[in-house]
Amino acid sequence: MENKMIHSVTAIFDTPDEIIHASKETVKAGYKKFDTNTPYPVHGIEKAMGIGSSYLGFFTLFLGLSGAAFAFAFIYWVSAIDYPLIIGGKPFFSWPAFVPVTFEVTVLSAAVGTVLTMIALFFKFPNNSHALHDTTYMKKVSCDKFGLCIVSIDKNFEETKVTDFLKSIGGKDIETIYYPQKKEINPFDPKFIMLLVLVALVVSGGTYFMLNKLIFMEPFTWMAVQDRLDPQSKNIMFADGFGMRLPVAGTVARGHLPYEFKGMSDSAVKVVPNPLIFSKEVVAKGKEKYNTFCSPCHGYYGKGDSRLNGQFPNPPTLHSDKVRNWQDANVYHVIFNGQNAMPSYAKQLTAEEGWSIVHYIRVLQRSQNALDADVEGK
């Protein structure tokens, strides 16, 4: 026994009253690192041992609040930032709808986290070998006896004194328990690897058999096979046979107001000012939209040099005196109302994008028709 480390000294008692009395005497003697083992719960044993409240509840509270915060923040990020969807006209941050899921994640994280905390901190996982396992002491207290053990890490522990003390309080079958010798486990042992492979095959095969044979359920394909109309397809429901329908008269797309001067002459809009303040950001947005929708016909510099290779008549240049003298509202009116062969772009552009294009056209006009006063330093 010279090379073995002492874990504890144990003693056996016959009745619940004896173990409670022994616990009280152990506390009076100044021992703090001791434990009792009983075949069933004994009322009052915690008080006799001087055990206070467990810290586990604080872990549970922290884990539950952390789960609630994570769930609420994740739902908010998905619903309001990453993938916002308009549902029933409700705001993106509709927090009452977040409460059920947040509550469920709170309970889940608190329960699972508490179990993992007990396993890791209280049970010292992965160390699943306790010195009291497979001892005569543990066999007796698992049957009909009551046991008390004083652990060697107690500052007052001395094997001889502890043994004499346990005898003095009525302890029987006093035994010194030693730490078991640790066995080195080779993770590359062929037998261990074969065991892992066998477990993997059994678990995967059993799971496949259970899910596909015993409790097989037809996959939910109703989202893919539901009745729908593909673009440009026919529909016998309507008399004209068209599947694609125009919006109901009077409806307006969310966030998009119709152009109020549609179909009117440009003289009706001369008094409308450009609502956007000239800035680099506005010009950059206008350039982006101009190059996308306007440059194929008008050219990148507004000179009317179409890239359509004669498929349509080339439009007039944007640098003529007529266009340069137009009010901003006149240019905006042509963009959203169309003119001659040019169609309306009211469905492709928002009002803000249209006014941004107007600002960019003014920049093009000034760049191609600069005066001496426009040159920096003059």
What pLDDT is stored for residue 303 in this prediction? 84
What pLDDT is stored for residue 259 in this prediction? 67
Domain annotation covers residue 338: yes
What pLDDT is stored for residue 198 in this prediction? 95
* Residues 172 and 199 both lie in one domain: no
What is the chain's pLDDT, residue by residue, as a tens digit (378 residues)? 456 788 899 999 999 999 999 999 999 998 999 999 999 999 989 889 988 778 888 999 999 999 999 999 999 999 888 888 877 777 888 888 899 999 999 999 999 999 998 888 877 766 667 888 888 999 999 998 999 999 999 888 999 999 999 999 999 999 999 988 766 667 778 888 899 999 999 999 999 988 888 887 777 777 777 777 788 888 888 888 888 888 888 777 776 666 666 766 665 566 678 888 888 999 999 999 999 888 888 888 888 888 777 777 788 888 888 888 888 888 888 888 888 888 888 888 888 888 999 999 999 888 887 777 666 655
Q: How many domains does the chain have?
A: 3
Q: At how many degrees (to 10) do helices 351-368 and 328-337 cross? A: 120
What pLDDT is stored for residue 327 in this prediction? 83
What size, in residues, is the chain?
A: 378
Domain annotation covers residue 23: yes
Domain annotation covers residue 245: no
* Residues 206 and 328 both lie in one domain: no
Beta bridge partners of 339: 342
* Residues 287 and 323 both lie in one domain: yes
* Residues 157 and 211 both lie in one domain: no
Q: Rounded distance, CA 317 to CA 365, Å?
A: 10
Choosing from 133, 156, 183, the residue where a domain stops is 183
What pLDDT is stored for residue 3 in this prediction? 66
* Residues 196 and 278 both lie in one domain: no
* Residues 168 and 199 both lie in one domain: no
What pLDDT is stored for residue 234 in this prediction? 86
- Which two three-digit tokens encode residue 23? 């616990």
* Residues 200 and 171 both lie in one domain: no
**272, 332 in Cβ contact below 8 A?**
yes
* Residues 17 and 131 both lie in one domain: yes
Closest CA to 63 of 11, 112, 12: 112
* Residues 179 and 192 both lie in one domain: no
Q: Rounded distance, CA 103 to CA 94, Å?
A: 16
What pLDDT is stored for residue 61 in this prediction? 94
Q: In what order do the strands lie in the sheet with 34-37?
A: 34-37, 146-151, 6-13, 172-178
The amino acid at residue 255 is G
- 340 lies in which domain range? 268-374
* Residues 148 and 30 both lie in one domain: yes
Domain annotation covers residue 242: no
Domain containing residue 352: CATH number: 1.10.760.10
pTM of the model: 0.44
